[in-house]
Structure 1
Amino acid sequence: MGHGDLTNEEWRRLERHLPLYGRRGGRWASHRRVINGILFRERTGIPWRDLPERFGRWKTIYERHRRWSADGTWDRILQAVQADADAEGQIDWSMVGVDSTSCRAHQHAAGARRKSPRIPKKEPRPAAHRPDEGLGRSWGGLTSKIHLAGEGGRRPLALLVTPGQWGDAPQMIPELERVRVARKGEGSPRTRPGHLRADKAYSSRRNRRYLRRRHIKHTVPEPKDQRANRQRRGSRGGRPAGFDKEKYKRRNEVERTIDRLKSFRAVATRYDKRAYVFHGTVTVAAIRLWLRP
């Protein structure tokens, strides 16, 4: 076992959620070695061709990562690992935070062909398949943005990749809609946090109506311009938004979750051309965080 590879305990928790057979009925081989190769690339950000020989053929490692990103396998594994953690009482639902971070795109991440990935017709197309490839252009160059919903234990509950210039507020509802942690045994998946905290970028009438409709308590500061507009409208402007300073202090938890994700160099800098592959790369990093004790 090399530095950064899965430990025996982490492998035991992960192995039962891995698919045994591929699309053509052939049995997958050497899962542990291949996943350790994927994790090595996640940590270092090196090109796939430069992977050490101890992980096997680089083409095998890349193709498995690409296929599992395309058909949603990594997303299903993340949900399964989250369900295990929830059954053990390791998820802090009392305080969930949402935030985003920008990732600079490497020059090799641009120039993807205008061609859809090969996905079986019976398989649903994950939301990560974007025609814009999740790339946005600004003064700093090409960027992507990762929108994140994280629990109190500094681990991701849901992820969303968009172009870098997209705003935060419109993505809050899609983020929360992707939070689905299955329960062991009977019962519908857990989708509603006990309390939500976010910075003022997420303050909008649409978001607050959504949270009230779902009966989600929230701590979101109101920007000065929104407060002035509400006061100018008088009674038609509605009641002031509630704000708890003590609960808002825990907003740093989601920021620290983002820091843990971006400790993987392949997440901090986007090297993948396709949005669905980069989404898979971020999801693998999230799985790694859930496997750690």
Structure 2
Amino acid sequence: MGRVTGPCPRRSGLCGAGGRWKSHRKVINGILFRQRTGIPWRDPPTRFGRWKTVYDRHRRWSADGTWERILRGVQADTDTEGRIDRSMVSVDSTSCRVRQHAAGARPRAPRIPGRRGRPVQHRGDEALGRSRGGLTCKIHLASEGGRRPLAFVITPGQWGDAPQLIPVLERIRDPRPSGGHPRMRPDHVSGGKGYSSRRNRSYLRRRRIKHTIPERKGQRANRRRRGSTGGRPTGFESTMCRGRNEVERTIIALKGFRTVASRFDKGAYVFHGTVIAAVRLWIRS
């Protein structure tokens, strides 16, 4: 990403009233440095320029979906090279401790200079909730066989896993460089017992997606108690279930970034952009 020399793209809302973008490369390096180390926005090294420029750029790109478009572009390039393994897509979640810096966000939607309307990933609850660990938020993600994240959903920490399976899978979109409808359906989906529900299984069967999700003990007992009206036993392959460690290893790699392991961002849309900025996992691979 070199220096932009053209006029300011005012229509897209990416810059202010005048002037031109400074070097994207230097600013992105500052964003990724902060993501890796978890330092406050005001304390980056001077080689990345003014901290305000680095923060505003990340905030704008999180609001207008630029980080998501970058992730989709990298995934499209990887798909063109045939290096995306859709034979097994695993779904899991992880909780992130919310630091005191992330509390106290205003309930109304923030105003982004140069942009109208709400940010793309704005949430009224700011994805903050209280669970056993205190104030937390939760990252639900789908990972492909190469241990790289495909899609994310950010929710409050006390929300369950089963209701988020469908939203996560519906965010899987791999654009085709030659045009056409993006690839959205994985070949096989694997999940833990927390994703076992009649609604999820019906959704996967309707989309003709094979799945390996173990049935809960209580659900199994209830089905047997109902007899013939309880339905057929769910299929389960233990050999396919062993591949679930791929999503857990993806979470470990994702939490290697300190700003993902602990949330410091007030806005849910800013934290969503911080998680997607882990696109470097795709670039490194």
TM normalised by structure 2 equals 0.92
Distance 2:108 2:118 in 1: 17
The question of whether the paired residues in 2 share the 8 Å contact of 1:130 and 1:276 is answered with yes
The answer to whether 1:104 aligns with 2:93 is no
The answer to whether 1:57 aligns with 2:50 is yes
Unaligned stretches of 5+ residues in structure 1: 1-10
Change (3 A) 1:34 1:189: same
Superposed CA deviations along residues 89-131 of structure 1, whole A, max 9, x for unmatched, are 110010000000000001111011223122534x7742x2100
Secondary structure, aligned partner of 1:160? strand
Distance 1:256 1:74 in 2: 23
Alignment of 1:112-261 (within 5 A): 112-119=105-112, 120-121=115-116, 125-126=119-120, 128-261=121-254
Secondary structure, aligned partner of 1:104? strand
List structure 1 segments (4+ residues) > 6 angstroms apart after TM superposition: none
Secondary structure, aligned partner of 1:279? helix
Residue 281 of structure 2 is aligned with which of 277, 285, 289?
289
The question of whether the paired residues in 2 share the 8 Å contact of 1:154 and 1:256 is answered with yes
Residue 77 of structure 1 is aligned with which of 62, 66, 70?
70
Amino acid at match of 1:289: L
Unaligned stretches of 5+ residues in structure 2: none
Residue 256 of structure 2 is aligned with which of 247, 256, 263?
263
Distance 2:249 2:19 in 1: 41
CA drift of 1:141 comes to: 1.5
Amino acid at match of 2:72: Q
CA drift of 1:229 comes to: 0.7
- In percent, how many aligned pairs have the same letter? 68
Larger CA deviation: 185-194 vs 162-171: 185-194
CA drift of 1:261 comes to: 0.5
The question of whether the paired residues in 1 share the 8 Å contact of 2:172 and 2:184 is answered with yes
Secondary structure, aligned partner of 1:50? coil
CA drift of 1:73 comes to: 0.8
Amino acid at match of 1:77: I
Distance 1:269 1:108 in 2: 11
The question of whether the paired residues in 2 share the 8 Å contact of 1:70 and 1:117 is answered with no
Superposed CA deviations along residues 194-250 of structure 1, whole A, max 9, x for unmatched, are 000000100000000000000000000001100011111111111111000001000
Amino acid at match of 2:98: A
Distance 1:23 1:245 in 2: 52
Amino acid at match of 2:173: R
> Alpha carbon RMSD of aligned pairs, Å?
1.9
Partner residue in 1 for 2:82: 89
Q: How many residues get paired?
A: 276
Distance 1:153 1:27 in 2: 38
Distance 1:137 1:64 in 2: 30
The answer to whether 1:39 aligns with 2:32 is yes
The answer to whether 1:68 aligns with 2:61 is yes
Larger CA deviation: 201-210 vs 111-120: 111-120
